[in-house]
Structure 1
Amino acid sequence: MTVENILLSGVVGSTAYGLAREGSDIDRLGMFAAPTEELHGLRGPKESHVSTAPDRTLHEAAKWCRLALGGNPTVMELVWLPDELYETRTVLGDELIGIRASFLSAKRVRDAYLGYATQQFRKLQSRGEGSFSADSRRRSAKHARHLKRLCEQGHELYATGRLTVRVEDPESYHRFGEQVAADPTAALPLLRRFETAFTETPSVLPEHPDESAADAWLRRVRRHFYAHAEQSA
Structure 2
Amino acid sequence: MNSGYIDGETSAILGDRTLPPGFHHPHASEQARLIAEQGTILRAQVGSGVHGTSVSGQDDRDEMGICLEPPEYVTGIARVPAGVNAETAMVEFEQYQRHTVWDQPGGIANRSGVGDLDVVIYSARKWARLALGGNPTVLLLLFVPANEVVYRNTAGAELTANAHQFVSQLAAGRFLGYLGAQRRAMTGQSGAHTNRPELVAEHGYDTKYAMHALRLGVQGIELLSTGRITLPVPEPEREHLRSIRRGEVALDDVVAAIDDVEQKLVNLKAKSAVPAEPNREWVNAWLHRSYQTYWDGRSSVSSLDD
- Judge same fold: TM > 0.5, yes or no: yes
Deviations 1:166-188 (A, max 9, x none): 112332112234156x63x5543
> 1:83 & 1:42 partners in 2: Cα distance?
36
Deviations 1:130-149 (A, max 9, x none): x9953435881110110111
Query: Does the 8 Å CA contact 1:37/1:229 hold for their aligned counterparts?
Result: no
Cα 1:72/1:133, change in 2 over 3 Å: closer
Query: Does the 8 Å CA contact 2:127/2:138 hold for their aligned counterparts?
Result: yes
Q: Which runs of 4+ in 1 moved over 6 A?
A: none
> 1:43 & 1:188 partners in 2: Cα distance?
48
Which one-letter code corresponds to 2:293 in the other structure?
H
Matched, 1:119 2:209: no
Matched, 1:25 2:87: no
What does 1:163-182 correspond to in 2, within 5 Å? 163-169=229-235, 170-177=238-245, 178=247
Query: For structure 2, which runs of at least 5 residues remain unmatched after alignment?
Result: 1-20, 22-32, 80-91, 101-116
Query: For structure 1, which runs of at least 5 residues remain unmatched after alignment?
Result: none
- 1:72 to partner: Cα distance: 0.7
Which one-letter code corresponds to 2:288 in the other structure?
R
Q: Tell me, what secondary structure is at the counterpart of 1:4?
A: helix
Matched, 1:8 2:42: yes
More off after superposition, 35-44 vs 69-78: 35-44
Which one-letter code corresponds to 1:142 in the other structure?
K
Query: Does the 8 Å CA contact 2:55/2:242 hold for their aligned counterparts?
Result: no
Q: What percentage of aligned pairs have identical amino acids?
A: 29
More off after superposition, 43-52 vs 4-13: 43-52
Query: Does the 8 Å CA contact 2:182/2:210 hold for their aligned counterparts?
Result: yes
> 2:167 & 2:197 partners in 1: Cα distance?
40
2:198 equivalent in structure 1: 134
> 1:75 & 1:133 partners in 2: Cα distance?
28
Which one-letter code corresponds to 2:185 in the other structure?
K
Larger relative CO (CA 8 A, sep 6+): 1 or 2? Answer: 1
1:35 equivalent in structure 2: 70
- 1:213 to partner: Cα distance: 0.7
- The structure with the larger Rg is 2
- 1:19 to partner: Cα distance: 1.4
1:157 to 209, 218, 223: 223
2:87 equivalent in structure 1: none
2:294 equivalent in structure 1: 225
Give the alignment's Cα RMSD to 1 decimal.
2.3
2:99 to 42, 52, 67: 52
1:104 equivalent in structure 2: 167
> 1:38 & 1:48 partners in 2: Cα distance?
12
Which one-letter code corresponds to 1:30 in the other structure?
G
Query: Does the 8 Å CA contact 2:186/2:209 hold for their aligned counterparts?
Result: yes
More off after superposition, 211-220 vs 42-51: 42-51
Instruction: Report the count of equivalent residues.
Output: 228
> 2:176 & 2:161 partners in 1: Cα distance?
26
Which one-letter code corresponds to 1:48 in the other structure?
Q
- 1:225 to partner: Cα distance: 2.4
Matched, 1:196 2:231: no
Query: Does the 8 Å CA contact 1:10/1:29 hold for their aligned counterparts?
Result: yes
Deviations 1:26-71 (A, max 9, x none): 1111111101232232245411111112211110100110010011
Query: Does the 8 Å CA contact 1:118/1:191 hold for their aligned counterparts?
Result: no
Deviations 1:86-134 (A, max 9, x none): 110100001101211011111x111111110011011123268xx9953
Please give the TM-score of this superposition, normalised by the length of structure 2.
0.68
Matched, 1:79 2:145: no
More off after superposition, 40-49 vs 88-97: 40-49
> 2:232 & 2:75 partners in 1: Cα distance?
40
- 1:192 to partner: Cα distance: 2.4
> 2:259 & 2:122 partners in 1: Cα distance?
33
- 1:221 to partner: Cα distance: 1.6
Please give the TM-score of this superposition, normalised by the length of structure 1.
0.88
